[in-house]
Amino acid sequence: MRLNLSSLLAVAGLLCGQVFAAAVPPAPVPGQADIRDSGFVYCVSGQVNTFNPQKAGSGLIVDTLAAQLYDRLLDVDPYTYRLVPELAESWEVLDNGATYRFRLRGNVQFQTTRWFTPSRALNADDVVFTFQRIFNRNHPWHYVNGGNFPYFDSLQFADSVDSVRKLDNRTVEFRLKRPDASFLWHLATHYASVMSAEYAALLTREDRQEQLDRQPVGTGPFRLDEYRSGQYIRLQRHEKFWRGEPLMPQVVVDLGAGGTGRLSRLLTGECDVLAWPAASQLTILRDDPRLRLTLRPGMNIAYLAFNTNKPPLNNPEVRHALALAINNQRLMQSIYYGTAETAASILPRASWAYDNEAKITEYNPEKARARLKALGLENMTLHLWVPTSSQAWNPSPLKTAELIQADMAQVGINVVIVPVEGRFQEARLMDMTHDLTLTGWATDSNDPDSFFRPLLSCAAISSQTNFAHWCNNNFDDVLRKALASQQLASRIDAYDEAQQILAKELPVLPLASSLRLQAYRYDIKGLVLSPFGNASFAGVSREKESEVKKP
């Protein structure tokens, strides 16, 4: 189905992990009146298990907080989808894509916090420290708080980056072992946030290295002021932000209410912004004159992953038979309320490599039943693992699971739903005892590689982002071929081939690609919603009541 933009999209939530100890003692959640003249309240479902996006697979830190706390070398324009300068004011691509040289912006200041006062501006040492920690397994910081960097591990960057070195105080050079046309795009994701080498050196001297990922210091528009586990995060303005002082002195990210509770708080004015409202709430939001809505196409995909390491799901014929049993059109109507598009590929339609010839899986329970009978699998029981909280790609995972359960029952398959949460879900899925998992992916990159390799490459199994446990050497070879060329046409041909392999093997069944929706109070202006995640809050302000034009 084609999307009607007037019908808008909403998806909720973020996959987050176990919460580490709060940086400060518990306190009541601040009310709206507390910051009405000096900031705004941003309400979102989620938890925080790290304040370093490099250490996260997804979640609130990646989608919302990273853009406030940190900067990257490059950014992606939310309207043109093009790479633009951020901390790097310019860059060069050399050796056919095997060498990348960046000229850093001058006079970029790090945040001053209660736990760190910088003595200098950003320089090449910070960039080298940031990426050597990720890519160099022998670096003294690589294994601090565990040696896992899920996004970059899934791309095998530790094995593909030959060196990261400082040429002078404002010039950094990355040398790769082979050309990689996607490299710049991966450095534009929030996973590639730049840290302070000076702060790391202080923590080393004090033997408190683990605090780097828990008490953040970045160059972004806001600094962390308070964190109350499960309640709220207070951000204070970074007065020396290189783009200019943010308009609002503070932002409170309210974590304390979920579901209809967040909607009620938006309607009463306790929340100024509601991130990821449920699609079922769309009519209420659209009809209230005190609210505004923003929608954008989203770079996300919801899908059902088959555990291809476990019989009988290791047989593609079985996976195809099960796919025939799922009524995707009913999912569109019952879960997304017309605010998503049925997916035919693991790539969303907005991607420049989307295969327009891709076909949505047929819904044919009679054919599914016949194929399963021929395979001797008429009375099979499967365990379906499902996250309990709403996601950016799926506002109601448990309800989706129940619909899939009912569809499977029609063809004689008994599906047992196993609800799981956060990092617990990731850990249990990687022990390979599940049969199916309902999951998804959202990225802040416009490069197709940020879908294919993290979700389906062989390396992504060990990085715990390949829930299908599917390893196909031919598929990996095609992805490498796509990265070896700087020519867009050549890359599109390779990704077409990759999508054809996936359509044949079906390690995952794509379900939906959704728009992104954000609701906010009528006096809030300057809020930008990006297809790639939340943008900086630096330009957000509140109009005075006398200036607000009522609709």
Which pLDDT tens digit goes with each residue over 110-160?
999 999 999 999 999 999 999 999 999 999 999 999 999 988 988 888 889
177: three-class secondary structure by DSSP = coil
Task: Evaluate whether the domain defined by 300-514 bears CATH number 3.40.50.1000.
Answer: no
What is the spatial distance between Cα 55 and Cα 19, in angstroms, rounded to a whole number?
Answer: 14
End-to-end C-alpha distance for the chain, whole angstroms: 32
State the DSSP H helix or E strand holding residue 415, giving kind and residue range, or none if neither. strand 414-420
Regions of the chain short of the pLDDT cut 50 = 1-29, 31-32, 424
String of DSSP letters for 360-389: PPP--HHHHHHHHHHTT-TT-EEEEEEESS
The whole-model pTM stands at 0.81
Amino acid at 441: W
Whether the CB-CB separation of 41 and 203 falls below 8 Å is answered with no
Maximum C-alpha span of the chain: 72
Give the tens place of pLDDT for each residue, 447-482: 899 899 999 999 888 878 899 999 999 999 999 999
- Calculate ∠ Cα 253-259-261, nearest 5°: 70
Q: Residue 175: which of 185, 165, 184 has the closest Cα? A: 165
What is the spatial distance between Cα 528 and Cα 525, in angstroms, rounded to a whole number?
Answer: 9
Looking at residue 283, its pLDDT comes to: 84
Phi and psi of 55, rounded to 5°?
Answer: -95, 0
Looking at residue 33, its pLDDT comes to: 52
Looking at residue 328, its pLDDT comes to: 92
10: three-class secondary structure by DSSP = coil
Q: Strand 340-342 and strand 250-254: pairing?
A: unpaired
What distances in angstroms separate CA 200 from CA 166, 208, 220, 258, one per listed residue? 17, 9, 17, 36
What is the spatial distance between Cα 129 and Cα 6, in angstroms, rounded to a whole number?
Answer: 46
Amino acid at 110: F
What is the spatial distance between Cα 229 and Cα 27, in angstroms, rounded to a whole number?
Answer: 10
Q: Residue 352: which of 156, 82, 86 has the closest Cα? A: 82
What is the spatial distance between Cα 225 and Cα 113, in angstroms, rounded to a whole number?
Answer: 8
Whether the CB-CB separation of 394 and 343 falls below 8 Å is answered with no
CB atoms within 10 A of CB 268: 9
Looking at residue 387, its pLDDT comes to: 86
Looking at residue 395, its pLDDT comes to: 81
What distances in angstroms separate CA 89 from CA 73, 99, 120, 169, one per listed residue? 8, 17, 19, 14
